[in-house]
Amino acid sequence: MISSIVNTLVVLAALIPAYKNPKLPVEERVNDLLGRMTLEEKVMQLSQSYMERNDNTNNIAKQLDRTPAEIGSMINYGWDASVTNALQKRAMEESRLGIPIIFGYDAIHGFRTEFPLPLAQAASFNTDMARESCKVIAAEGYAGGIDWTFSPMIDIARDARWGRNAEGYGEDPYLTSRFCVAAVEGYQGDDMSKPGHLASCMKHYTGYGASEAGRDYTAVDISRQTLWDTWLQPYIAGVKAGSASVMSAFCTLSGIPASADPYILKEALKKKMNFDGFIVTDWGTTEQLMLQGYASSEKEAAKMALNAGIDMDMCDMVFYRNLKALVESGEVSMADVDDAVRRILRVKFRLGLFEHPYRPKTNPKKDYLQPASLELAEKLASECAVLLKNNAGALPLSKKAKVALIGPLADAAEEYLGCWKAHGFPEDLTSIYAAMSKEFSNVQYEKGCDFEGEDRSGFPKAVKLAGESDVVVLCIGEKAVWTGENKTRASIALPRIQEDLLCELKKTGKPVVVLVGSGRAIDLVRIEPMADALMEIWHLGDREGEAVSGLLCGRYNPSGKLPVTFPYTTGQVPIYYNARNICRRGKWGKYTDGTPLEPKYPFGYGLSYSSFEYSPIELDGLTAKVRVTNTSAVDGKESVLWFITDSYCSRVARPVKELKYFEKRLIKAGTTEVFTFELDKLRDLGFIDGNGERFFEPGEFIIRAGNRELKTEIK
Ligand code: GLC
């Protein structure tokens, strides 16, 4: 009896295709499935289509008609899983092999609960909180029917004119690497097949942030040396962290389109970094190879992209229309197509999509905007703000102060969501005005002016209110739509009307606290002298209002530090701290119009309501220590940033200093914390050459933390 059952089970097991057996290793399932696929089915896996933004269960029939059941991926703009479940059901049940679709979407700082901009999060230097926010994004996105987020965006940005500064983590490769790893870990967890996880997608590969003059989509010229020592650093970290995918960039990179460059795609990423996920293009970049004057036809474009190492083609269906013929003509090898398919299937298996292709019915009340998520959003927002000036302790304010709250950003919740706001809605937010009205006993509001334009008719009322108050809080800055993709600004100064409003308010003689909300570094050179206190508050998401109110009254103590250099003027751009030495000193290399070489505020700058004193750095072997004392009466968090300088390097001239480690901790009033940096010679004192090889060269090094530095010889 038993033997017949066993025999039956053995027979049944043999009938189940290996790729459908979750007990088998992923690679075995991938190879089994690949071996069963026709060329047409393979080409479909390399193709991504998209749903309309208003697709819902009522009009899904149209979407179903429009989309082949065998499509490999779709961009899903919805947040109700019933729509993706319907498409997935067709893929699983009506396609010959039942390969699930992978649904992607741009949830870069929130899916439904919006967290601060990535640039703002970088200012927090709190990667633990950033990781937690990505866990929330993953849980909400999973509930909403996506499997894959096009995040983290890890473009190094050194040009504040570029609108996409907002989406990344600033100018430093190490800081960006740390937040990249935090995001990958937050989205994917230790096993992304578990419910509530998403595949991550590091983007835009690569060099996109070096777009000439900050103009979007333009050419980029980067040497192999800079490619490796700057732009590829976050990808090396993210690949090690197991990121599932990479998105190739729009720009040409030293003459070769990044989305068809075999060196960066195959040599650097897939071979040298040993990346085993897949590469998806950015939107339409295969088709755009023709606009870039690189491909003479769509067919040529498909061939160039696939042969260069692209695995999936985003939304222009160029692979879909051309790859079959290219393989049949031998211009594209089946081996290359198979490698691309293998990479995509590997991620789908690792995501558990074959076992769990569907999502439970979306329940917005349970799945989104949970109290714990909103609390995290507020706490993280409170750590992103950067206090730039606080004369005579203008801040924090007494809750009993008579506050004149003025400015276009004071009651504008829609702006707090920032760019790429996904499914964040202003009605979920409390404005700074509304939040302060709850926390302070006497707040009066006047808008004063709009973000831009010449209408100064609101000035008199604002000035009158200021004159009747104890203190002015002026909220100025950028609209959300001034930042993000295709949002380059030729000047990083705020519109004149905002500065003029400040000037009129200053004339009242009242103390003025200026809050600047932006998605990039702003020219503050005329604003700062008129401010008694000045704070960069970025665009902080769903809980900006509560966080800012808390920062103003001292419920939160500002702890942010700048992740980007704030230039003195647009004319200094691009400007960044980790530049290389110039060949002369003193009078040489200056601007002849009196503009200083130094920025208005440097990378890593930020004040607190506390005051921190750094001890001299001690070095025991390769263990560096510094004692940080909070000499104030206010508990505060401090991020200790460790920089190293290799004073002389014969292999390649290195940056004047490089961030190599940071750690953020609460230091209670009057107490001291010891911060330790365990230096690794190759990792922290070494460098990388233009072939991607790390090296260490003995010699003089300078180690810096806070206002302290230690010069030492390291053998
Ligand atoms: C856009 C962006 C990219 C985004 C993609 C899908 O053009 O460049 O960041 O992930 O298209 O929306």
How does pLDDT run across 558-595, given as a tens digit for each residue?
999 999 999 999 999 999 999 999 999 989 999 999 99
CA of 273 to the centre of ligand 1 (A): 24
CA of 545 to the centre of ligand 1 (A): 29
Alpha helices in 385-534 (DSSP H): 413-416, 432-439, 459-467, 496-506
Contact 449, 412 (CB under 8 A): no
* Confidence at residue 339, expressed as pLDDT on a 0 to 100 scale: 98
* Confidence at residue 61, expressed as pLDDT on a 0 to 100 scale: 78
By most ligand atoms within 8 Å of CB, the mutation choice from 146, 247, 287 for ligand 1 is 247
In the predicted model, what is the mean pLDDT of residues 150-164? Answer: 98
Query: For residue range 110-129, what is the model confidence (pLDDT) as tens digits?
Result: 999 999 999 999 999 999 99
Atom of ligand 1 nearest to the CA of 153: 9
Query: For residue range 202-236, what is the model confidence (pLDDT) as tens digits?
Result: 999 999 999 999 999 999 999 999 999 999 999 99
Q: Any bridge partners for residue 224, and if so which?
A: none
Query: SS3 letters for 564-615?
Result: CCECCCHHHCCCCCCCECCCCCCCCCCCCCCCCCCCCECCCCCECCCCEEEC
CA of 281 to the centre of ligand 1 (A): 9
CA of 282 to the centre of ligand 1 (A): 6
Pocket of ligand 1 (CB under 6 A): 106, 150, 203, 282-283, 485
Q: Whose CA is nearest to atom 10 of ligand 1?
A: 150
* Confidence at residue 553, expressed as pLDDT on a 0 to 100 scale: 98
Residue 78 DSSP one-character state? -
Atom of ligand 1 nearest to the CA of 150: 10
Q: Is 676 helix (H, G, I), strand (E, B) or coil?
A: strand
**Which of 46-50, 54-58, 259-263, 492-496 bottoms out in mean pLDDT, i.e. has the lowest?**
54-58
Catalytic pick from 282, 311, 336, 646?
Answer: 282
CA of 193 to the centre of ligand 1 (A): 25
Q: What's the pTM?
A: 0.97
Q: Whose CA is nearest to atom 1 of ligand 1?
A: 283
By most ligand atoms within 8 Å of CB, the mutation choice from 167, 483, 485, 488 for ligand 1 is 485
Q: Whose CA is nearest to atom 3 of ligand 1?
A: 282
**Whole-number mean pLDDT of the chain?**
96
Q: DSSP characters for 147-210?
A: SEE---B------TTSGGGGGS--S-HHHHHHHHHHHHHHHH-S-TTSTT--B-EEEEETTGGG
CA of 49 to the centre of ligand 1 (A): 13
Buried residues in 664-676 as b, exposed as e (16+ CB within 10 A):
beebeeeeebebe
| For residue 402, pLDDT beyond 80 | yes
Cα–Cα dist 51/74, whole Å: 7
What is the chain's percent helix, strand, coil content, to nearest 5? 35, 20, 45
Query: For residue range 40-94, what is the model confidence (pLDDT) as tens digits?
Result: 999 999 999 998 877 777 777 777 788 888 999 999 999 999 999 999 999 999 9
Contact 154, 508 (CB under 8 A): no
Contact 474, 514 (CB under 8 A): yes
Distance of CA 454 to the CA centre of its chain: 34
Q: Whose CA is nearest to atom 12 of ligand 1?
A: 106
* Confidence at residue 9, expressed as pLDDT on a 0 to 100 scale: 67
CA of 313 to the centre of ligand 1 (A): 12
CA of 283 to the centre of ligand 1 (A): 6
Q: Whose CA is nearest to atom 7 of ligand 1?
A: 283
In the predicted model, what is the mean pLDDT of residues 16-36? Answer: 97
CA of 9 to the centre of ligand 1 (A): 48
Q: 635 an active-site residue? A: no
In the predicted model, what is the mean pLDDT of residues 346-374? Answer: 98
* Confidence at residue 13, expressed as pLDDT on a 0 to 100 scale: 65
* Confidence at residue 4, expressed as pLDDT on a 0 to 100 scale: 78
By most ligand atoms within 8 Å of CB, the mutation choice from 105, 283, 287, 420 for ligand 1 is 283
By most ligand atoms within 8 Å of CB, the mutation choice from 106, 146, 201, 315 for ligand 1 is 106
**First and final CA of the chain: distance in angstroms?**
74
Query: For residue range 285-298, what is the model confidence (pLDDT) as tens digits?
Result: 999 999 999 999 99
Contact 292, 255 (CB under 8 A): no
677: left (phi over 0), alpha (psi -120 to 50) or beta: beta
Q: What is the CA radius of gyration of the chain?
A: 27
Atom of ligand 1 nearest to the CA of 247: 10
* Confidence at residue 52, expressed as pLDDT on a 0 to 100 scale: 82
Contact 483, 163 (CB under 8 A): yes
By most ligand atoms within 8 Å of CB, the mutation choice from 150, 154, 421 for ligand 1 is 150
Query: For residue range 177-195, what is the model confidence (pLDDT) as tens digits?
Result: 999 999 999 999 999 999 9
